Amino acid sequence: MIVTLIIICEVGFWVLLALALALRYGAKMPRASVAVLLCEPLLEVVLFVATAIDLRGGAEPDWKHGLAAAYIGYSIALGHYTVKWVDVRVAHRFFGGPPPTTPKYGMARALHEWKLAARWVLASAIALGLLQCAIWYVEGSGDVSSLEAWQQRMLFVVGINVVIAGAYTLFPKKAPAGVGDGASAKELSRR
């Protein structure tokens, strides 16, 4: 049941996002678009409640419950970023909006990667907290080794993101001649 609900929440996220973008750009209804996007956190609430009910109902804690915690952490910490990322690209690609301005070179890119790593750290911290709460919630009535394994995975996610951001800091990508550190796609397209 939990895996099905996670899939439904993920599909629901993208359906709501597509509907919101269609309302914003296609129907020129930005307020309706925001209203649709405000429904997205309800998906995580439903998943959280269903997971808690499943555990309280005597289900053996396993990888599905860990995946639910990781999904909720991602949605809370990176959901808004994901929506903005998709919005900018859809606006540019299909509706004549400005190109994305993600820095590609130098310290500007390193700073971008550290901000992204911070989001992943937050997502992992939320998942770690939810997993620890689930371990306490079960209180010895089941094997929690799967939840503890998910806690280790979330620490691995933190480590990977810190290594990536550190690599961009220690080995910054050099801009082509004549392009500044924070060159955007628009600046590059003029060349």
**CA pair distance 146, 166, nearest whole angstrom:** 30
**CA pair distance 174, 107, nearest whole angstrom:** 10
pLDDT at 141: 77
Greatest Cα pair distance, the chain, in angstroms, is 64
- The reply to whether the predicted model has a pTM over 0.85 is yes
Range of the domain at 167: 2-175+182-189
pLDDT by residue (tens digit) across 153-174? 999 999 999 999 999 999 999 9
Give Cα separations from 113 to 13, 63, 133, 187 (angstroms): 24, 29, 30, 20
pLDDT by residue (tens digit) across 95-132? 999 999 999 999 999 999 999 999 999 999 999 999 99
Number of domains in the chain: 1
Token output for 85? 């990322």
**CA pair distance 6, 90, nearest whole angstrom:** 25
